[in-house]
Amino acid sequence: MPRVCLVCGKVLEAEEEHLCAACWKDLPRTRYWKLRENPMAEGFNALIQRNMGENVQYQPYGYAAALYFYKGGYREISKALKYKRNFAVGRCFGKLLGQTLKESDLFRDVDLVVPIPLHWTRRWRRGYNQAEVIAWEVARELGARCEPRLLQRARHTRTQTHLNAEGRAQNVAGAFRVNARDWRRLIKQKPASPRHYLLIDDVFTTGATAAACERAIREALRTAISARNSINASRIRISVATLACVEH
């Protein structure tokens, strides 16, 4: 089988990896990593605000960025990682995402990287979590710690593919929790527990899943504060980065 471009199907030259030179050049980069406010960040923060409800308190704005727009043939990149066990493409684009974030004023101080988990039954069937493949590469580039088991799915959720924004938010509400043992270790970390958390996923659609994860971490922070651990939640930022995002 000849190696072909994931996007256009053209046979690759020896020096080309995953994409042909023309498709690499045309990668529809979002440039969101340069913009504190962008459609992805606005969607993410609007959901966080809604999740807070009455419980309003100051917390830093969550940054959000994706490497490229999820459109046309470029959808095949995350599909190759998610459904075809193409780890090499996941590592390649994860590394590129990490390098891009490191160049960004918004993300270079990230000190903790957390992949968004699959439910264990889905992970067991698939054998891996595609977000974790990306997260390890991003953490390495940023010089940050990676905690792949910090978040857990508390319950199974339906596939989000055919749900609208409201349906997605309801589907994932309360679906995540923080793993108590990893969490205790993390908040007691010396010299300081992490300040800038970065959630990682393959594709960002409405942000409902990322916002549900943000909420699980904020709840764990509240519990940690009431247990008199020396952390200041109003200084902890929780951001999100993905390989791709749907254009809004």
Binding site for Zn ion (CB under 5 A): 5, 7-8, 10, 20, 23
| DSSP reduced 3-state for 49 | helix
Considering the complex, what minimum distance in angstroms separates the CB of residue 9 from Zn ion? 7
152 has which bridge partners?
177
Q: Is the peptide bond before 39 cis (omega within 30 degrees of 0)?
A: no
**What's the CA gap between 140 and 75, in Å, rounded?**
25
Considering the complex, what minimum distance in angstroms separates the CB of residue 6 from Zn ion? 8
Q: CA–CA distance from 142 to each of 103, 108, 248 (Å)?
A: 10, 7, 28
Q: Which is nearer to Zn ion, 23 or 199 (CB)?
A: 23
Considering the complex, what minimum distance in angstroms separates the CB of residue 22 from Zn ion? 6
Q: Quick one: CA torsion of 248, 47, 61, 103, rounded to 10 degrees?
A: -40
Q: Which is nearer to Zn ion, 10 or 79 (CB)?
A: 10
Q: CA–CA distance from 147 to each of 117, 136, 197, 220, 243 (Å)?
A: 11, 9, 10, 15, 18
Q: Which is nearer to Zn ion, 23 or 48 (CB)?
A: 23
Considering the complex, what minimum distance in angstroms separates the CB of residue 73 from Zn ion? 7
Q: Which is nearer to Zn ion, 20 or 220 (CB)?
A: 20
